[in-house]
Amino acid sequence: MKIATWNVNSLKIRLGQVLDWLAANPVDALCLQELKLTDDKFPVAEIQAAGYHAAFAGQKTYNGVAVLSRTAPRDVVRGMPGFEDTHQRLIAVTLDSPAGDVRVLSAYCPNGQSLDSEKYPYKLGWYAALREYMVTELAQHPRLALLGDFNVAPEDRDVHDPAKWEGQVLVSPPERAALQALIDLDLSDAFRLFEQPEKSFSWWDYRQLGFRRNAGLRIDHILLSPALREVCEACIIDKEPRRNEQPSDHTPVVATLAL
């Protein structure tokens, strides 16, 4: 079983690239973020024609998440029960696997904008709510994968120029602590289960030739419960789509599970 995550920065603009990528990389589940479209505009027919089911939670202009899957999603939950949020940032589905149910969640964690923005405490509060939600999800689903754009680079080695980024949003200690608190529920960063090239990133700013200079951050992650960590065989960042014309500023992360 292969699972992947990709912040597409507008599914309307990127649909062709998503379908091309799925044709070349027929993963069992692809989590998408930043759909930037309402549910009535979700391209259900095109995704079905490509052989995928879709569970999605969209809104106008901003945010929006989805899980595309080979098998039909069950027990779909949009958002976090008990956490009021005007943003569509989380969707959970259950998928079949030979080893039994696998819970797959697509998350678009808040960016935070800057440390002095009101969006920054919103980000930390959202992370706290996500942690509480994952406590209950993990209790119900031993095989669980939380994938998405976490908008946090966990360590300095996930930052192209740590000195330049020090004290900025996406790398600040409180954000890293919030992500770590999630990981402390006994989740594993799938990418770090394996030896990886130096300077591996998943996002590059559109500005100042970020991709050409490899001036990026690793902020897109696949977090695995213990049962899935045990069967994880690989995790890679696929930089190819970032080379496309009109690319997303993010590129897919893919994990291979022996299921």
Partner DNA sequence: ATGGTAGACATTCTA
Binding positions for DNA, rule: CB under 7 A: 9-10, 12-13, 36-37, 60-63, 110-113, 119, 151, 206-208, 246
Least distance from C-beta 105 to DNA, angstroms? 19
If the CB atoms of residues 100 and 121 are measured against DNA, the closer one turns out to be: 121
If the CB atoms of residues 69 and 151 are measured against DNA, the closer one turns out to be: 151
120 is catalytic: no
Main-chain phi, psi angles of 255, to 5 degrees: -120, 140
If the CB atoms of residues 37 and 190 are measured against DNA, the closer one turns out to be: 37
If the CB atoms of residues 118 and 195 are measured against DNA, the closer one turns out to be: 118
Least distance from C-beta 250 to DNA, angstroms? 9
Least distance from C-beta 70 to DNA, angstroms? 26
Least distance from C-beta 35 to DNA, angstroms? 9
Please pick, among 28, 52, 108, 189, the residue that the annotation labels catalytic: 108
By DSSP bridging, strand 74-78 and strand 90-95 are antiparallel
Q: Is residue 202 packed enough to be buried (19+ CB in 10 Å), middle (13-18) or exposed (0-12)?
A: buried
Cα torsion at 7, 240, 170, 151 (round to 10°)? 20
Please pick, among 52, 133, 149, 220, the residue that the annotation labels catalytic: 149
189 is catalytic: no
Q: Is residue 203 packed enough to be buried (19+ CB in 10 Å), middle (13-18) or exposed (0-12)?
A: buried
Beta strands in the chain (DSSP E): 2-7, 29-33, 53-57, 65-69, 74-78, 90-95, 102-108, 144-149, 188-189, 203-204, 216-217, 220-224, 232-237, 253-257
Which residues does the annotation mark as catalytic?
Answer: 108, 149
